[in-house]
A and B are shown apart, each in its own frame.
Chain A
Amino acid sequence: MNSSPRPMGRWSTPWLYLAPALVVLAGLLVYPVYQLGLISFFQYTQAQVSGGEPTTFQGFGNYAELFGDEQFWQVLLATVVFAAACVVSTLAVGCALAVLLTRVRAVPRLALMLAAMGAWATPAITGSTVWLFLFDPDFGPVNRVLGLGDHSWTYGRFSAFFLVLLEVVWCSFPFVMVTVYAGIRAVPAEVLEAAALDGASQWRIWRSVLAPMLRPILVVVTIQSVIWDFKVFTQIYVMTNGGGIAGQNLVLNVYAYQKAFASSQYSLGSAIGVVMLLILLAVTLVYLRLLRRQGEEL
């Protein structure tokens, strides 16, 4: 390797560096995605897994069954609405607190930062159990403080979703807050001072000065939030005990898992996975277009 005077020039070097990543991704990501698509076109249940029956090609049969199932459409709607609510709440809380962080001195800022770091670091599974415990009808402090008696939060469809939403916002706003805060700090102070001298109100400064400058960052955190919240699994699974009473709190991800592993309908589960994949792919394309429009070079 030393013989080459300009090591940058060798065409094979980048591929050498990329090789481990590409091998891992091809084997454990691309191939499973391909398999997922394949399984969704076959009849694949417990009998085929154990080798008792041969796998048979179904064409779009699994998809037809899925789209004919009213529960699928309900779950899809619930997923979209729930994810949207999570994204909007997370962004609102995260941005508001990021602005708040710039208004306070070091001690309150450190306190809020540390608390947020704690929430961020909390594993999804422990966060879920702790929030359930806080809202427990018998022993939780929240019902006592609010005087709700033994009202069960997980019994009703909406209150169960609301409880999960609270937990999701709690553990995901810190990412938005920290990122947007870092972005605001990068805005030159003179710009903000000039705006303030011109008599712009706080809201006006945010809307007309900060928001446009932070646009790239806001796009990133929005897209990340959409991806994360659309795929929420642990919180729903743990807090509503696998999808709630009669599956009232199912979202696509949990639905796919339950179909595949609880009722051994692997092909239906895979078809749901493919639908999710396509939706997220559409989100990605929108993201790429936004990046392109900003003239950003990859």
Chain B
Amino acid sequence: MRPVSAMSFVRRPWRLLAEASALLIAVVVAFPLYWMVLSAFKPAGEIESSEPRPWTLAPSLDSFRRVFEQNEFGRYFLNSLVVACTVVIVSALIAFLAATAVTRFRFRFRTTLLIMFLVAQMVPVEALTIPLFFLMRDFGQLNTLGSLILPHIAFSLPFAIWMLRGFVKAVPEALEEAAYMDGASRSRFLWQILFPLVFPGLVATSVFSFISAWNDFLFAKSFIISDTSQSTLPMALLVFYKPDEPDWGGVMAASTVMTIPVLIFFVLVQRRLVSGLGGAVKD
């Protein structure tokens, strides 16, 4: 990383104070996650105690056992993974093509299309649950994973296209001309030259579609109404969360299981995400 030379004029005591507060804030921000994992490992007696302690001396896997023994939890996990991965891959491919079209070509209605992609991001997804429910019913997609995958692809596309534009634009046009000079076909340029160059951007963008698909609980709740084998993780989590008498150990263990894949994904793409956002915003 570049040294923060711009800030070298900050005097030392102030910098120490700033660093101390940064660390303190980091602890506060991380605390809910720490508490989640901690509670997942606490034995039942310690969770439901009126003297909660920020540590445990007798870690236990009981809560996790309850979560995994819940009927078909593995299945729910798999369903969630299938939905999220399909959405990420399909929407990344479609968005890549569309972003290429709007950045590398000049054509009529180009600006109109861009504005429409922007407007599409504002559509409140939740409000569309009602018409989508009827649409899925008419196509016989209720109670299938398709009813979760299809809408999420549509809803992640506009933002993905909008973000990818910057990455596609950054690839110099001279490269394209050189490729054609050397006799490369258009599809060859697209998939063998442009695609690898834009790939980091695709990864950064896919974080957003992954999260929205992985988090979804509204569509799962509304479209998967009778066939519970098609259910996803959020619904499995809510089984433990009964408002009057929640099984906190189970909720925390299920939450941990649900959060870890996203955390891993984030850690893997963290760098690209930061530069990706910078690029997308600057553009």
Query: CB within 8 Å of B: which residues of A?
Result: 1-2, 6-8, 11, 13-15, 17-18, 20-22, 24-25, 27-29, 31-33, 35-36, 39, 49, 97, 100-106, 108-109, 111-127, 129-131, 133-134, 136, 138-141, 144, 170, 175, 178-179, 181-183, 185-187, 189, 192-193, 196, 216-217, 220-221, 227, 230-231, 233-234, 238, 241, 253, 256-257, 260-261, 266, 269-270, 272-274, 276-277, 280-281, 283-284, 287-288, 298
Contact = CB atoms under 8 A, between A and B. Distances in A.
B224 to A, nearest CB: 13
B19 A104 contact: yes
B186 A102 contact: no
25 contacts: A13-B105, A17-B101, A18-B113, A24-B94, A25-B154, A29-B120, A29-B154, A35-B131, A103-B7, A103-B14, A104-B19, A111-B26, A117-B266, A117-B267, A118-B29, A122-B33, A125-B237, A125-B255, A125-B258, A129-B255, A178-B273, A241-B243, A280-B122, A280-B124, A284-B119
Interface residues of B, number: 111
Interface in B238-283: 238, 241, 243, 246, 248, 251-252, 255-256, 258-259, 262-263, 265-267, 270, 273-275, 277-278, 281-282
Contacts of A105: 15, 19
B47 interface: yes
The residue among A122, A186, A276 with the most chain B CB atoms within 10 A of its own CB is A122
A258 to B, nearest CB: 11
Given A14-B104, A117-B267, 9 more contacts: A13-B186, A14-B105, A20-B97, A25-B157, A29-B123, A36-B127, A133-B35, A187-B6, A277-B127
A121 B22 CA distance: 20
A230 B238 CA distance: 24
Nearest to B135: A32
Nearest to B98: A21
A27 B130 CA distance: 15
The residue among A116, A117, A185, A261 with the most chain B CB atoms within 10 A of its own CB is A117
Interface in B126-174: 126-132, 134-135, 150-151, 153-155, 157-158, 161
Given A36-B131, A220-B281, A277-B123, A18 B98 contact: yes
Contacts of B161: 21
Contacts of B127: 36, 253, 256, 269-270, 272-274, 276-277
B234 A123 contact: yes
Contacts of B13: none
A183 B282 contact: yes
Contacts of B50: 138-139, 144
A187 B265 CA distance: 30
B136 to A, nearest CB: 10
B70 interface: no
Given A273-B130, A298-B115, A116 B252 contact: no
Contacts of B93: 20
Contacts of A122: 32-33, 259, 262
Contacts of A280: 122-124
B92 to A, nearest CB: 12
Contacts of A103: 4, 7, 10, 14-15, 18-19
Contacts of B105: 8, 13-14, 17
A28 B146 CA distance: 12
B155 A29 contact: yes
Contacts of A269: 127, 130
The residue among A8, A113, A126, A238 with the most chain B CB atoms within 10 A of its own CB is A126
B197 interface: no
A280 to B, nearest CB: 4
B33 A130 contact: yes
Nearest to B2: A185
B48 A112 contact: no
Given A103-B15, A196-B9, A21 B262 contact: no
A8 B104 contact: yes
A231 B124 contact: yes
A32 B131 contact: yes
A217 B281 contact: yes
A109 to B, nearest CB: 7
A23 to B, nearest CB: 9
Contacts of B125: 231
B35 A130 contact: yes
Contacts of A35: 131, 134-135
Contact of B107 (A14, A113, A227): A14
B222 A112 contact: no
A121 B215 CA distance: 10
The residue among A11, A217, A273 with the most chain B CB atoms within 10 A of its own CB is A273
Task: Please give me the 3 A-B residue pairs with the lowest Cβ-Cβ distance, nearest first.
Answer: A273-B127, A182-B278, A28-B154
B122 A186 contact: no
B153 A118 contact: no
A272 B5 CA distance: 52
Contacts of B130: 36, 39, 256, 260-261, 266, 269-270, 273
Nearest to B153: A24
B39 interface: yes
B7 A102 contact: yes
Contacts of A114: 26, 30
